[in-house]
Amino acid sequence: MKNKFYITTPIYYVNAQPHIGHTYTTIAADVLARYHRDILGEPTFFLTGTDEHGAKIAEKAKEEKKELQVFVDEVAEEFVKAWRALNISNDNFIRTTDEKHMAAVQKALRYMYDKGDIYKGSYKGLYCRGCEQFKNEKDLIDGKCPDHKTEPEQMSEETYLFKMSKYQDKLLAKVKSDELKIRPEGKKNEMVSFIEKEGLQDVSFSRKNLAWGVPLPWDASHTSYVWADAFLNYLTGLGWKGPKDKCPKMWPAETQLMSKDILRVHATIWQAMLLSLDLPTSKELFIHGFFLADGQKMSKSLGNVIAPQDLVKKYGIDASRYLLMSATVFGSDGDIGWQKFDEKYNADLANGLGNLIARVSNILEKDSIKVNIKSGNDQALKKEFGKAMQNLRIDEALKILWGKLRQNDEKLSSAKPWEIKEIDAKKKILEPIAQDILNVAELLQPFMPETAEKIIKQFSAKQIKKGESLFPRI
């Protein structure tokens, strides 16, 4: 049977507008989805969406003096628009305020409650609203959450708890054996040592004094913990209606993408919920790097937040996709900024890809040289590229294609066909270069869909013509 491919991004909180961090994850998921869907021809499902409940969002709506549903509708629409503007090919956009999602969350929690995996108790401890997570003293630096630089609030209330401790051994075995793969390897080791050292405690799964959430079906004075509600999007986004439904055909996900900020909850609470629901755990959690903007964390107060629409305005859709995907090793943190983007745009796109195509097509047209080149002709390149993609080395896959382009650039510069008179001799130099350009363009489709299509069209003609300038210099 053919492999299937289900890929997810985290669902993003709607307390902030889409920024380049969300954009990075979403484009990466899109590139992988397009690779599996269009190049490998596998049944593929790509899910993204928005996380719209919880204290943080309720607070933000209040600050903006907006009615809650109106507020979340507006911001969710900004995410939809941003992804449309970047040519993102998601198969669904899930929102946690969607009624069908909420109904399924209620059924799932009911199932866990009836099973005895959710029980009434009380919780006393520290809560960071920014993370929407409970914190141990150990997690804090100078008493503050290291991610949000705020002091968590003391919370003490009646709550329903999820018996996560029950699943500790099962989960640890799955992580260790790679039945649940956590990648890169270093992140797996971190999670193994976390579970071994700290163990899995039961977690508070409901809030009594927070109306903005999914009411518990057996006690409407409580709403669901926002993460419990949010995680289930990965199932409801596939049309799952609750535990009575069969496991969706596309579940488990081949890859769940995210950054390190939310690995721990995904590796513990989410997987334990799946076990409690008698569903398979995820196949893989892949943790990509975290972006800093010119060395600093992006934040509104620092004024260094880069919005996806600013990128698109400056570089266009495909160049923006390229710049983000090539910015850093996928899986390592990286520093980004406008100057770096400008330099890379000029080097790789204007002078690299764009210039090579212009030089080759120019002579071919001017001298009316007809070439005979074929689609899908470089199996070695396809294999090398495929290996990088299967290992989620997205940046490496691009490097492989650009290596090929550079080789051809050098060939062209040293053979100097423009100084040669005989047409046949010129053709002998240019034909293999044109062939390599077509080979590269075919693999570039998942990254730069529109550009690749243009190049493929241009280089599939018997008489290749000079096209429009693809990437004008900045």
Query: Quick one: 50 exposed, middle or buried, by C-beta within 10 A (0-12, 13-18, 19+)?
Result: buried
For the bound state, the minimum distance from the C-beta of residue 48 to ligand MSP, rounded and expressed in Å, comes to 10
Hey, is 182 helix, strand or coil? strand
State the catalytic residue, choosing from 53, 107, 145, 174: 145
- Nearest alpha carbon to residue 253 among 23, 32, 13: 32
Q: Which runs of E-coded beta strand occur in 136-180?
A: 153-162
Task: Return the residue nearest ligand MSP (CB atom).
Answer: 21
The least CB distance from residue 246 to ligand MSP, in Å, is 22
Active-site option among 53, 60, 107, 131: 131
Catalytic residue from among 36, 56, 107, 128: 128
Phi, psi for 235 (deg, rounded to 5): -100, -45
User: Among residues 112 and 373, whose Cβ is nearest to ligand MSP?
Assistant: 112
Shortest distance (Å) from residue 187 CB to ligand MSP: 12
Q: How far apart are CA 269 and CA 264, in angstroms?
A: 8
Rounded to a whole number of angstroms, the minimum distance from the CB of residue 177 to ligand MSP is 24
Q: How far apart are CA 186 and CA 177, in angstroms?
A: 15
Candidates 166-174, 254-262, 384-392, 428-436 — which segment interacts with ligand MSP by CB under 6 A? 254-262
DSSP tag of 141: B
Residue 47 vs 401, nearer CB to ligand MSP = 47
99-119: burial string, b at 16+ Cβ within 10 Å, e else: eebbebbbbbbbbbbeeebbe
One character per residue 296-315, x = contact with ligand MSP (rule: CB under 6 A): --x-----------------
Among 30, 51, 117, 254, binds ligand MSP (CB under 6 A): 51
Site for ligand MSP in 11-50 (CB under 6 A): 11-13, 21-22, 24-25
In three-state secondary structure terms, 103 is: helix
User: Is residue 19 annotated as part of the catalytic site, yes or no?
Assistant: yes
Query: Which of these ranges, 257-265, 323-331, 366-374, 463-471, lies near ligand MSP under the rule CB under 6 A?
Result: 257-265
Which of 94/470 has CB closer to ligand MSP? Answer: 94
Q: Does 322 bind ligand MSP (CB under 6 A)?
A: no
The CA–CA distances, whole Å, from 168 to 159, 161, 231, 270 equal 21, 15, 18, 12
Q: Coil, strand or helix: which one is 45? A: strand
Is 297 catalytic? The answer is yes
Q: Find the catalytic residue in 249, 297, 313, 370.
A: 297
At residue 136, the 3 state secondary structure works out as: coil
To the query of whether residue 247 is one of the catalytic residues in this protein, the response is no
Q: How far is CA 214 from CA 14, 206, 227, in A?
A: 17, 9, 11
Q: Which residues of 340-360 are buried (b: 16+ CB within 10 A; e: fewer)?
A: ebeebbeebbbebbbbbbbbb
CB of 6 to ligand MSP, least distance (A): 15
CA 192 → CA 169, 176, 177, distances in Å? 11, 7, 11
Q: Which is catalytic among the residues 148, 166, 340, 411?
A: 148
Beta bridge partners of 361: none
89 by Cβ neighbours in 10 Å (0-12 / 13-18 / 19+) ranks as: middle
Give backbone dihedrals phi and psi of 126, rounded to 5 degrees, phi first.
Answer: -100, 140
**The pair of three-digit structure tokens given for residue 207, joined into one six-digit string:** 């809030």
Residues 6+ apart with CB under 8 A from 146: 139, 140
Least Å from the CB of residue 294 to ligand MSP = 12
x/- contact string, 258-297, with ligand MSP (CB under 6 A)? xx-xx---------------------------xx------
Out of 71, 205, 225, 231, the residue judged to bind ligand MSP by CB under 6 A:
231
Contact 453, 445 (CB under 8 A): yes
- Which CB sits closer to ligand MSP, 12 or 471? 12
Which residue of the set 124, 260, 300, 366 is catalytic? Answer: 300
The single-letter code of the amino acid at 42 is E
- Cβ nearer to ligand MSP, comparing 147 with 450: 147
Catalytic residue among 22, 101, 188, 266: 22
Q: CA–CA separation, 369 vs 93, rounded Å?
A: 48
Is 230 among the residues that bind ligand MSP (CB under 6 A)? yes
What would the x/- binding string for ligand MSP be over residues 54 to 93, using CB under 6 A?
----------------------------------------
Shortest Å distance, C-beta 259 to ligand MSP: 4
Give the residue with the Cβ less far from ligand MSP, 11 or 128.
11
- Using CB under 6 A as the binding rule, whether residue 194 contacts ligand MSP is answered as no
Residue at token pair 């866990």 = 112
By beta-carbon proximity to ligand MSP, the closer residue of 333 and 410 is 333
Nearer to ligand MSP, 135 or 176 (CB): 135
Between 13 and 240, name the residue whose CB sits nearer to ligand MSP. 13
Which residues of the shown chain bind ligand MSP in the complex (CB under 6 A)?
10-13, 21-22, 24-25, 51, 230-231, 233, 258-259, 261-262, 290-291, 298
Residues noted as catalytic:
19, 22, 128, 131, 145, 148, 297, 300
